[in-house]
Structure 1
Amino acid sequence: MRVIFMGTPDFSVPVLEALVAAGHDIAAVYCQPPRPAGRGKKDRPTPVHARALDLGLPVRHPKSLKGAAEQQEFSAFGADVAVVVAYGLILPQAILDAPAKGCLNIHASLLPRWRGAAPIHRAIMAGDSETGICIMQMDAGLDTGPVLLRESLAIGPEETTAELHDRLAPLGARLITQALAQLPDLKAEPQPEDGVTYAHKIDKTEARVDFTKPAEEVDRRIRGLSPFPGAWLEYEGQRLKLLASRRVNGNGPPGRVLDDALTVACGTGAVQILTLQRAGKGPQAAEVFLRGVPIPSGACLGGRGPEKA
């Protein structure tokens, strides 16, 4: 099929590679424009942009698709279908209507649960036991179109957003190639009206750890916000980013470090911090981190130094 691919982050790259490997004719790749990054703040192509150039594919990165010129160029590619995955722009009706077989979206949740921008984060933060991939026929709504294919997978009890992302991306690639191969025979199933939830974009104000919450909530927030934007706390004037954790037995005043393995008391129960990071450094396992930044039993995390038990 003649395909326009629309995606931007790392999550989208395996899909582009799968479409090329399946022999589809990629008419164009659409992604977000390069943006300043790194210490020099030089414009850096997005992961999809960089991979498309490696594959010798034509790339377009308009700031908007609302203009007549952009819509005419899109239509002129004469695509059979557009494949959309984490693209980052709203598609106007003229874009949705341009490909002969419409636009198919790869969405990382079991719709209608977690429509919207951050379905992987929100599934973990909410304590969902499973998630998955849906191949959806796009319409003008926010992830409201009928579903062509879906497949679920279990969320591990200690899984982070990064780890779940890395399992869902190849699943999306496999399902979209299956969908394109079977497209004439697939029946689009309307989404049920019950069970709709919205995965709102992650706000950085959500990221500060509140140890007065129950341990299960603290643990889910740490794992759900890992690696970006990263749950954080303050200790002796340093901001520490928490990247992995697990629930464990323990009780004490919220924020109190209960042992030498970085077990921290919560409002109820406790969490053990497994991986963390300080500014300017890479992520470290807790046992390695503690060699350089001792956090003794009895310390209180959240801005104050060691306290007596």
Structure 2
Amino acid sequence: MSLRIIFMGTPEFSVATLRALVEAGHQVVAVYSQPPRPGGRRGLDLQKSPVHQAAELLGIPVFTPVNFKAEEDRQQFRSFDADVAVVVAYGLLLPEAILTGTRLGCYNGHASLLPRWRGAAPIQRAIMAGDKETGMMVMKMDKGLDTGPVALTVKVPIGENMTAGQLHDALMFAGARAMAQAMNKLEADDLPLQEQAQDGVLYASKIDKAEARIVFARPARDVHNHIRGLAPFPGAWFETEISGKLERVKVLETTLENGNGVAGTVLDNQLLVACAEGAIRLQRLQKAGGKPLAAADFLRGTALPEGTRLI
């Protein structure tokens, strides 16, 4: 026997879980994803989500309702007679009619160690806060925001220089394995649930573009965490004068080093930059409209010598 599963997800992060469920032998009877969005070079073509594309390759029917307010969409969801719905970064709040629309409810793969970092941006917020560890949790969904009881936890360490992109990939594969394991246990009626702790709740609010500017007048470790938490997207940035013009430069990788000086000042000719306490070495940068470059390659085309001020 295998479970009849409705899968609900949208970005690349969700694709690994969809594939893991299929490989585990479960019957994914339908996939729900966000509607196609404008994309392409000119933004004129409608682009299907990564989950949508993966489901089509797997031969699974895909549905893209804007929401579940229409009764016909709710009825269609129930018509699949699914045992369970699996939700990974779907991007829509699910009404009670959907949460209760399968025999065993909805299970969510969430990228944090709940109740820490409930909400939209748990990967970025964990790094920006300097957390040493995070993980994937399989949680049975209720009407709250990431408040349901937890079924399974997989912990993932956060390295000192790990970026949000790197952690994203580590959690993506850890989450896929965790959800497949959880569904196998659910099929065997061996998936106990544990209520979340009442203390330690933190909310991972959506990343605002206004947060992306680097503030060198902070301790070096805080600046380092801020930069790697926003890499590769949206990318933390500074501005400086290049060839007589103020230009914006994204920083995608840094390391912590010793150094003292006025915050935001380049301390040598290899992009050591002073912070309020200590310094950071800029390791990977990207000019507006350019490609990401290692620091040495960046400096071949752009001079940022000792004494340059970054703002």
TM-score range (shorter-chain normalised) is over 0.9
Q: Which residue of 1 aligns with 2:113?
A: 110
Letter in 2 for 1:294: A
1:290 match: secondary structure: helix
Q: Which residue of 2 aligns with 1:44?
A: 47
Q: Which residue of 2 aligns with 1:29?
A: 31
- Kept in 1: contact 2:30–2:62 (CA 8 A): yes
Unaligned runs of 5+ in 1: 303-309
Q: Which residue of 2 aligns with 1:307?
A: none
1:223 match: secondary structure: helix
Q: Which residue of 2 aligns with 1:91?
A: 94
Q: What is the rounded CA distance, in whole Å, between the counterparts of 2:302 and 2:39 in structure 1?
A: 29
Q: What is the rounded CA distance, in whole Å, between the counterparts of 1:27 and 1:201 in structure 2?
A: 31
Deviations 1:256-281 (A, max 9, x none): 00112111101111111111111222
Q: Which residue of 2 aligns with 1:10?
A: 12
Unaligned runs of 5+ in 2: none
Match of 2:136 among 117, 133, 138: 133
Matched, 1:179 2:182: yes
Q: What is the rounded CA distance, in whole Å, between the counterparts of 2:205 and 2:121 in structure 1?
A: 6
Q: Which residue of 2 aligns with 1:259?
A: 268
Q: What is the rounded CA distance, in whole Å, between the counterparts of 2:206 and 2:302 in structure 1?
A: 33
Matched, 1:242 2:256: no
- Kept in 1: contact 2:238–2:310 (CA 8 A): yes
What is the TM-score normalised by the length of structure 2? 0.96
RMSD: 0.8
What is the TM-score normalised by the length of structure 1? 0.96
1:124 match: secondary structure: helix
Identity of aligned pairs, percent?
56
Q: What is the rounded CA distance, in whole Å, between the counterparts of 2:140 and 2:202 in structure 1?
A: 19
Give the number of equivalent residue pairs. 302
Equivalent positions of 1:129-168 (< 5 A) are 129-168=132-171
2:135 match: secondary structure: strand
Match of 1:232 among 225, 232, 237: 237
Cα displacement (A) at 1:38: 3.1
Report runs of 4+ in structure 1 exceeding 4 Å deviation.
none
Q: What is the rounded CA distance, in whole Å, between the counterparts of 1:45 and 1:234 in structure 2?
A: 35
Letter in 2 for 1:222: I
Matched, 1:66 2:69: yes
Letter in 2 for 1:207: A
Cα displacement (A) at 1:39: 2.3
1:136 match: secondary structure: strand
1:185 match: secondary structure: coil
Match of 1:274 among 283, 292, 296: 283
Letter in 1 for 2:177: R
Q: What is the rounded CA distance, in whole Å, between the counterparts of 2:84 and 2:125 in structure 1?
A: 29
2:231 match: secondary structure: coil
Q: What is the rounded CA distance, in whole Å, between the counterparts of 1:277 and 1:32 in structure 2?
A: 30
1:227 match: secondary structure: coil
Q: What is the rounded CA distance, in whole Å, between the counterparts of 1:263 and 1:278 in structure 2?
A: 18
Q: What is the rounded CA distance, in whole Å, between the counterparts of 2:62 and 2:126 in structure 1?
A: 32
Cα displacement (A) at 1:235: 1.7
2:218 match: secondary structure: coil
